[in-house]
Amino acid sequence: MAQVISDRRDIEFVMHEQLNAESLSKIHDGFADFTKKTIDLIISEAKNFAVKELLPANKDGDQQGCSLENGIVTTADSFKRLFELFNEGEWLAPTEDPEWGGQGMPRTVASAAAEYFNGANYPFMMYPGLTQGAGHLVEHFGTKEQKDLYLKNMYTGKWCGTMLLTEPEAGSDVGALTTKAVPNGDGTYAIVGEKIFISGGDHDLAENIIHPVLARIEGAPAGTKGISLFLVPKFRVNPDGSLGEFNDVICTGIEHKMGIHGNSTCSLSLGSKGNCIGTLLGEENKGMKAMFLMMNAARLLVGFQGFACATTAYMYALDYARNRIQGKDLMEIMNPDAKGVPIIRHPDVRRQLMMMKTYVEGMRSLLYFVHYCSDMAKFAESDEEKAKYQGFVEVLTPIAKGYVTDRAFEVCSQGMQVYGGYGFIEEYPMAQLLRDCRITLIYEGTNGIQAMDLLGRKLGLNKGKPIMDLFGEMQKTLAQAKEIDSIQGYAVKVEAVINKLAEVSIHMGQTAMSDKVLSAFANAHPFQDAAGDTVMAWMLLWRAVIAAQKLEKAKKKDKPFYQGIIKSKQVTGNTYGSTRHAGHALH
């Protein structure tokens, strides 16, 4: 198996040439140390850890999986040591406050580490990923006492975290949950309920697991308006930080899944013996608002998970196609003495690889850009700038989760096709990548829900200003591209697509608020496809602008790379076509 799971050169292109991540060191004192040299060192360290430690354990996690015996959940043999090494490297909470055990790293820079780590072993990465997300909730909504008790232990990986939303009769409809919280009179609550599909809900990697739990206080309003958020540890935590008694959080089963076997997906029973204690996190009846902080971050993480499967699939397929000898060159097909050639010489294989390359590069730029916008939304100089970048994050999140994972699964499927019959065999990596990738289209809000969010909430957000600001950014790229002869033709095509999407967006927004609302939402997913295609076309054009500008003065060794970026732009004719068709269909 190839040991190359991501394209280091393209990561550097996005980081330094497209986004100029080093500029973040000048907008926030906490980022001052993140110069280009430091960023490149972080990328190298992440790559080394991913290839040397995470990747070898991936197959072990898939084949051995997790087990539940006598109430104890056990992970794959290699995962415990791996988790210790991961925490020693301080990789669990790289973007969080150093005061609580983080590294204060820009999200843009952490994107590169996330790509390598998730590409190498994303089922394992779910444990630290969920822990960081749960810790984020404590940091934002916790009392001083809760922060002091939990936060550093979570951000350093001594304790793990999860998120407990889903119930047997309340999946995507969170407002239908039945888990109850009864006040004990001392500021704590007795928690009683059942939760299912809890990723990392129980395991043997850490001495304690901290569960943010959605529940309804007795007498609270029905639906999501009456939901509160509670902190429920697996083992109670004493005031001095030591562990107390077991908190009546019992794993009643683990799911046997199509993929992500290395992650324990649990059913949990809370308070079945009447002895589960939780503390309120944030305000009463504001649990959903608080949980969305974690869910939005989790949706971006899921986008990265899907993308990481795709980039790994592409790198494996490219390596396989270069080395797999099969069939004659098409130009030598009538020559009886012609020898077999690597399958990368066959036009249809090249077509597949080129489409994989195009999607992977576009997805990388999009996901890194969203994290760049997160950094700017927090630390830009003016409130106006902060609001603009936060608007980009809001509008692009459903695309970064929904559209990206849809396309990532297609890329993994194409990778299997490049391998042919070997791709369908578990001995080779494509089968696992395809299986693992599939869940990314479902959890953290199905892609249909992402499409509804884009149409129902994000189009009209702040009276449409974020979406108009996004179109404004696209226009800036178009203006640059029109000044470059070699890509001027592409700019004209992308401009037509952007204009069509703007027209369709207005139509869809109006329809969603009319008596044809059901028709509008029936077309929400095609609309998300059209929006995603357009954003991808913009990202690829943006990349081509930079490549075209640098190509003339580029060193000889860099010229093929920049030419490859421009060629990626060339193959997006199908993208433009699908977007136009989607636009006409929706109109």
CA distance 525 to 518: 13
Query: Does 96 participate in catalysis according to the annotation?
Result: no
Q: What number of H helices and E strands is found in the chain? A: 19, 14
CA distance 215 to 166: 11
Alpha carbon distances (Å) from 551 to 484, 555, 556: 12, 8, 9
Q: Considering only CA atoms, which of 16, 92, 17, 13 is closest in space to residue 49?
A: 92
CA distance 348 to 339: 19
What DSSP element (H or E) covers 305?
A: helix 287-323
On whether the CB atoms of residues 410 and 488 are closer than 8 A, the answer is no
From the candidates 444, 483, 495, 503, give the one annotated as an active-site residue: 444
The first and second tokens of residue 100, run together, are 């609580």
CA distance 173 to 35: 45
Q: Considering only CA atoms, which of 504, 539, 538 is closest in space to residue 524?
A: 504
Under 8 Å CB-to-CB from 222, ≥6 apart: which residues? 175
Alpha carbon distances (Å) from 54 to 123, 127, 273, 435: 10, 13, 39, 18
Q: Kindly report the CA angle at 186 between 183 and 189, in degrees rounded to 5?
A: 30
Residue 323 burial by Cβ neighbours in a 10 Å radius (0-12, 13-18, 19+): exposed
Which residues are annotated as catalytic? 444
